[in-house]
Structure 1
Amino acid sequence: MDMRVTIPNVISQQTNAFVIKNPEKITNTFTISEESKAIDELRMWQQGQLADLKAFLKNYDMTSISTDELKQVGRRLFDSKIIDEQAFRMFISGDGASDAEGRQTNTHVKFNAIALFDEKLDDYLGFVKSRPDVARSQGIPEYIQGMVDANRAINALAYFAHSSKDDLSVEELA
């Protein structure tokens, strides 16, 4: 009796990490240099929320962060309704590395998230521009907006994480 087991032809879901072309890049079109713009970007006006966010961010460097850490940051932003589901996906996907079963790998490896998010967006916009059929597909504009929002958020976070002020209140002129 032949006891051989036939294994169906399974396509691997393995992907390599996104290769960041310019890992030293810390500024881009989404870079924020003014506190009021960072606050606007994160839609947070209450001093308590800003202080809590700043304290939380002290543990993270957006230019040297792992997928595991990006998931924590993304979860905090999503739960606070600062980012939507599309932007949250950018945070939790990290560098995109996965094994043959599609499970994320090397989630502890640090990378520059500012450069990663910027280059992922640039690459995707280039892909969509080269494929007009894709550009018209359902959900693509929302996906692109999520990528833009993730870039804006990561740059606002980088601003707050590196801000030397303890008080993040917005000063108003009378």
Structure 2
Amino acid sequence: MGYRVVECSAATGAGAAEARAVLGQRLTLICGQSGAGKSSLLNVWDPSVDLRTGAVSRKFDRGVHTTIRAELLELADGGRLIDSPGIRALELGAIEARDIRHRFRDFQRWLLRCEYSACLCDGEPGCAVRAAVDAHQIHPDRYESYLRLLREVRERERERAHA
């Protein structure tokens, strides 16, 4: 999809040096799911930030929500990070079902090849996106994420139509 991925672990420190090198001297926003360990990773990348973290919940097998506001951190080597509170849920806003496919960067090269210009990539004949999934050129997990979002937006559209 064109994004660089660096795997790292706050528990073991594995990948921390590589992740820190990628951040460099830039301003970087750290965001993600609540309790995922963002502040713990920041503590590994630069111990001088000394951010408060919580224990891992045995019930949910993730950290507890501890960051309550975004904070700009000046790192020892000159980089800057913004530690943000965790995201519990994403709101799709006013997006329409027909527009979701355009938000999936990895679908773009295939969309113009669909047989129908209004193809929603949800089982229509001649769908190039579905063909790309079948040919292992788009990861099936990405396609499933797309279908989940499409279903959610369609349901919201139905609810609005019947309100």
Shorter chain as denominator, the TM-score bin is under 0.3
When normalised by structure 2's length, the TM-score is 0.24
Greater share of strand:
2
Structure with bigger helix share is 1
